[in-house]
Structure 1
């Protein structure tokens, strides 16, 4: 796989023949992370771990309702807007630090997709041991092994790591902090069955290196990832995903924070467990 040029890997990450793998653009981050303005990097990078955020998973879900056979048009389904909260807690359990045990209904499928997108687009994906835990937890068993091999290959590429400013072990330079975060804005179910679902997650991502001397400053990007999920072993699991740019809002004329302020924010502000 060439990480230096933008490309699409058919059947690449996931082995389904449908997944579109996107590498970071410019000095971008994985999972189609934030686009960077680094002059020396090609806009190609976002196409490698684009995969990862966007590994960000496919979701199988069942329609809302009570019991094991939820139906699509139940009273607990938000009516006013696609992003209206359901008022239900997403989960109260975790596996390897990742939210799991989602409900077998619409709310559960959408919450699973949002939470899986966050962990698949995190900086933890650059640590081999942690990456293996994440993939095993969020992907369907028959998909996880193939996905794992593809991700290991992508994340161990010296060229890719060099282009985003990390060393061969995925570590940032001394005095700098590596940032890779996905922040879901909304979710939408586009198709569903008793034990499968297609869920779109619209999100913004932060990607880059914060700290004095960084040549890849933290920037933001906007994407929508479509996840195919399946109900397996009493939880939603990802089977495939596709990623596309946008919708992208018009940026405001705000002054960028200093490298020090950005580093402090990343270190001091924790993430959330996302509910629908």
Structure 2
């Protein structure tokens, strides 16, 4: 659901000016200074360029920069390219809701619902029910709660080092996060859409005595969405492993670093 890039900074070096002049010990005489008019022209030129640069930097960004010329072939946007559409302003139980009735709206909903379904809240019964209430179609809420109760059992929680209700032991931080890498609509429709969300996930206990350290995984969640009650909601969803990249050579962080990072860095809201 994050990438980082390198930020370039302009060079700020000074220009060293060598004034013309003759040999002070009897060589060629110092040349007569040029007229001040040339200096004035130079200063005016620099000011004009500066004004032009400021105008360019502050130009109206509301227009579409990639609008093709009249008569030019249309270039479709990349599957997960930003659309410029304002993200949804509403949420339910902390989950963004009320998406546009468009394909992009369906993709945004699927990405945010993947985050919710992979969150630590799913390991607590009350919080899990709230998540399902927000993301599932009204007709599927009750049955989804029953299905998830069978999956998130007390025994499952305890196998991860959690209490029966999903709480981490004292001195440890439970980590369960899903980050969408990309979305793809496999079956578009007017009131239904099937969206696959490729994800990376973190799961485990960060703590000095943890026997289940935080590990990374890759998986794809496929959701069939339905337009219901003025919003995109999940009618069914499934998960499969991968695609997974070749592991890198990154050194694993300490339990303290992982706990601190999870507590300090919040998640993202995904929208196109």
The two structures share one fold, judged by TM-score above 0.5: yes
Q: Partners in 1 of 2:192 and 2:127 — Cα distance?
A: 27
Map of 1:55-66 to 2, 5 A cutoff? none
Structure 2 partner of 1:139: 136
Task: Please say if 1:228 is aligned against 2:224.
Answer: yes
- Size of the aligned set, in residue pairs, is 199
1:89 deviation in Å? 2.4
Matched position secondary structure for 2:96: strand
Q: Secondary structure at the match of 1:151?
A: helix
Distance 2:75 2:111 in 1: 17
Aligned to 2:258: 262
TM-score by length of 1: 0.69
CA distance in 2, matches of 1:137, 1:236: 10
Partner of 1:110: 107
Contact 2:195-2:222 within 8 A present in 1 as well: yes
Runs of 4+ in 1 over 4 A off after TM superposition: none
How far off is 1:78 after superposition?
8.2
Change (3 A) 1:209 1:78: farther
Q: CA contact under 8 A between 2:202 and 2:217: conserved in structure 1?
A: yes
Distance (whole Å) between structure 2 residues aligned to residue 184 and residue 214 of structure 1: 27
Two-structure CA RMSD over aligned residues (Å): 1.5
Task: Please name the residue that 2:213 is paired with.
Answer: 217
Say which of 238, 247, 256 aligns to 1:251: 247
Residue 109 of structure 1: how far off its partner (Å): 0.2
Q: Which has the larger radius of gyration?
A: 2
Q: Superposed, which structure 2 residues align to 1:186-205 within 5 Å?
A: 186-205=182-201
Do the aligned partners of residues 78 and 170 (structure 1) sit closer, same or farther apart at CA in structure 2, a change above 3 Å counting?
Answer: farther
Q: By how many angstroms is 1:166 displaced?
A: 0.9
With structure 2 as the length reference, what TM-score do the two structures score?
A: 0.70
Quick one: distance in 2 between partners of 1:129 and 1:245? 28
SS of corresponding position for 1:171: coil
* Residue 263 of structure 1, CA deviation: 0.2
Residue 238 in 1 paired to residue 234 in 2? yes
The match for 1:149 is 146
- CA displacement, residues 48-78 of structure 1 (integer Å, 9 cap, x when unaligned): xxxxxxxxxxxxxxxxxxxxxxxxxxxxx98
Offset from partner CA, 1:122-163 (integer Å, 9 cap, x none) = 0011222211111011101111100101212332x2321221
Contact 1:196-1:229 within 8 A present in 2 as well: yes
Tell me, yes or no, if structure 1 residue 158 matches structure 2 residue 154: yes
State yes or no: 1:84 paired with 2:81. yes
**Native 8 Å contact 1:183 1:203 kept in 2:** yes
- Cα distance, 1:211 vs structure 2: 1.2
**In 2, Cα distance between equivalents of 1:130 and 1:159:** 18
- Larger mean CA deviation between 98-107 and 165-174 belongs to 165-174
Q: Are 1:129 and 2:122 an aligned pair?
A: no
Alignment partners' CA distance in 2, 1:162 and 1:101: 36
2:91 aligned with 1:94: yes
How far apart, in 1, do the equivalents of 2:219 and 2:201 lie? 8
**Counterpart-to-counterpart distance in 2, 1:131 and 1:138:** 11
* 1:81 positional shift: 2.6
Gaps of 5+ in 1: 1-76
Greater RCO (Cα-Cα under 8 Å, separation 6 or more): 1
